[in-house]
Amino acid sequence: MRSALIVEPAPAKLNLFLHVVGRRADGYHLLETLFAFTEAGDELSVAASDDLSLVIEGPYSQPLVAEGDNLVLRAARALAAAAGLDAPQARILLRKNLPVAAGLGGGSADAGAALRALNRLWGLDWPLERLAAIGAELGADIPACVYSRPMMGRDIGTDLAPTQLAEPLPVVLVNPGVPLVTAHVFRALAEMGQAFTPRLEAQVPAVPTLAWVAGLKNDLEEAARRCCPLLDAVEGALRLQEGVALVRMAGSGPTWFAVFRDAGCAGKAASHLRQQHPGWWVAETTVLCG
């Protein structure tokens, strides 16, 4: 076991588009999506210890502190079991910078970061593909979050193909401060009676551009609005900002993101939104291209 403190970022996940194209017999929905990751996110630190422990701190730690278990600890146990370790041993510190239940894959990103960090701490040196396979047993978004780079996702999101965006994208993330449970959004989608139809051609661009992404959509937006009417105000506020090129909901919401033509416009928009809506969480960041 390596003794040094290991710090691992847990970047926020964005679905640049999200098509719901089917449903399996077990209830999981089939997707077409483009996973991307931002500079903003949580942060996880691990160090050697005689047992397994987790401390959560940061501005959005409170909702998680009372949990008896979470994905980070489950990921640690799953990795230890796969490696044949008698018991997982690590002191884990999670700094929670992202809102909880925000559609940003925070819990999945934290679990992905835990798998990467503990892989190093325990001297396993396993490839990311092997870690992603372990993550898939814990949650459908975790494999993409293990890689934390642009990925085309199909099936339930676990059939992944690496890609690269044409350029980094300046974005502003906005969350109105209310959690939104993913299961509730999918329930609303079912009540809407949406037809499930694959909409991507067999071949997607080798390097997806913003213009190509803009021609697609997030199928969960209308269902999320039914669960949380406040989302109309978030979308509307983003569309009013100067230099905005694309506005879309992140995952199952309630966070929305806006892509801007340059970082200067993104910074001005973030400043305006904080002034106009002091109760909202607003983050200016960049979507990484590869």
- Give catalytic residues, as residue numbers: 13, 141
Phi, psi of 4, rounded to the nearest 5 degrees: -70, 155
Q: Taking a C-beta distance cutoff of 8 angstroms, is the pair 13, 108 a contact?
A: yes
Report how far apart, in Å, the C-alpha atoms of 215 and of each of 16, 211, 246, 275 are. 11, 7, 10, 31
Give the whole-angstrom CA distance, residue 87 versus residue 84: 9
Residues facing residue 55 across a β-bridge: 93
Residues facing residue 32 across a β-bridge: 19
Nearest-CA neighbor of 79 among 53, 30, 116, 43? Answer: 116
Tokens of 2: 């390596």
Q: Taking a C-beta distance cutoff of 8 angstroms, is the pair 120, 2 a contact?
A: yes
